[in-house]
A and B are shown apart, each in its own frame.
Chain A
């Protein structure tokens, strides 16, 4: 038991890798064995993170369950992991969504072994980012997460669809999407890499806690340039990297393609967790390391956030592809996260105004909770799109219509999840959006006002999508014969159930999670 508690985080982090190794040695034809091994194996980190949650002391400040092991001593980098409320929430989200996504992947029939191995490796990559307290380790896991996702999209993504590049080169849509995803993210991370290198060179350490102190204490000139300039450049380097991931308009163009072409479970994880990596980067790195620059540029960030909210909503509204609609909705929802962060940045550190500080906290709380909530609802939405796609092999909204009587249970679940996404009071979306708006209003009034417009349209597109799928005249095509629509099955319900429970719980009684988040957020910034 002692081993368990003293190595809890590394266990959570590396268990998926172990599981992947085990699966490596399973014969590739034993599909059932592979699926169930993967599922059971992914439940272990989930169980451990629940344990972590229960053992987490929400009244204490700072990082808990800290572990540090030597890794690359030559450049002063160690495997330093720890959680605070923020990362704990994200870890929980990740370990929850992964088993659900794996369960959702039971319908994958080709090369299941490779698929599951990649999925588990992806989980470790994501967890690593959330748990890292060493900047280099952060970057290592950040990059590691890219590769499995690339292959997941590339190999198991939607088979139809072609893109034409530069007028003549034809490329399969999923290839285009995966390559764009990878290159975009890597290009975005390039600045991050360079900035990290610079930090390592300057301070001879990558340890985050010490970097917080040293970096903020830096004065004078650095490499011939004034500190302020260097910090500003590094700030934007960090911001660009995370902005690509979140994604923030205008760095979002990879997302619709990637989400649309990815296999269902891939989209669930992509929207559910991967986007949060970017937001997490903002919270964990950008705000604490660059409080002054963040404050200076908070207006710009807010502008981008609002653009994301508004354009995301408009773009969603205009889609005919159901999945693409949900993809743009991610842009929209993540914009809200960024708005909260921007608001907090604007207030800055050590602001004497008590009211503003309160708003700042509220905004940050909202942002983090929105991260969690969007994780749930986006995963849910993508899954539901996948459910109907598997049956109908189309995602075109115009092909559907009036399906409610055919698939009432599915319809009910879809309605529920959509409402959560829309922000209906009583469900989780409302709580986080309300917090963000309440927090941002005193700080960034105009931007928030514009953002409300976006939120209005959020409702519009969600309702439109539901109408086109479930309501209206029944599309006879799906009513009879071989195209007869089958109801959602037990496995699929099992996938949605935990998500729905959480959506409801957070909607009615958010305290259990907000307490944890709040404590962390107050310490953070």
Chain B
């Protein structure tokens, strides 16, 4: 147990700042007039988050990894990198939330967002089972509420409820797994657990399965992905975006840390399990996405598939593998947030999430269409966008460790993905609206959306072209694991 050192405060500086921001939002809210509320809340949250990001980057960057707060947290680059991602994601989501009816004007929504981000940050650096569980719940509960935030909408309520039930169930199973871990070892610290599992044992494998239940739910891995399409469809779109990106990334952070730290000796086994699950996830996600007529559901299944791709990096139990997963998540967060953001902006004006509503988008809003093209092509894995580089690295990591068949599966799935992404783009660029009067139905973009989408688009291209610095960060994070 390490003694408390004042400099350890820096380890939780982002969390502290997030909490402060949350309080600030809550406190300031009653003082604002109704009509200004949405703008003020949104800008305050987003701006505040950016400040948090800047301050953390400036002050709270870890040097050597160290366990702090009695071993509850590990102050290392892995956790830090993920934290910055979550904060960035939350900032963008806050901007997107601003224009959604019933959500944008409620301070509670922003507060929940911030709390969820807080929980995720803790998840990323958790080094203790108890802390881990606490962080997961801290993340999940606000997200349950956010999913069901549109109280008047049946689907939103259903989505929130479904998310809650599913989440609670899987969480319980995972907790059981945690308790078994404690039972076997007498330790709750992740870094001490490894000693208790030096070799393969069926019990260890069983525990892995139990833990995996909860984590699979978080990253929507087969077979615990069923909640995702319904929840994404029903939830307010920016929330869906946040769920599909930051929440998933948090789950991955946990998986990375847990599996590489606690079960390195069983890596052959859990790698295989994860490989099979990744295969099923990608395939199921992509195949079902082919049939979707609702764009949110399509993106939901697409997100499921992407979890599979990212998992390939985890399966390649190596530094390159972990780095490629982290890089994948960086690119993926940018891309998926952009996709959901576009859907939000469009849905706001058109009032529909049916794919058919997107016919002729390129003539109604050429710039928005271009951004959509960038996002979707990045999802498909086309250069010069981040998705391409991410996929190549993930496959490279797999091949390095001999998982050639997995890389082939990933590649084949990319092809299926390409098909439906291109189909959507076809609707946007080729097909015409009914009546062909696109000029009369433009899609205006409000300022927050314009800013958010521009940042994301530039980010997608930047990550795809100048990928060395980002991969450097990812590698630095991965080094903490190996």
Q: A–B direct touch, CB within 8 Å, in complex? A: no
Q: Which residues of B contact A (CB under 8 A)?
A: none
Q: Which residues of A contact B (CB under 8 A)?
A: none
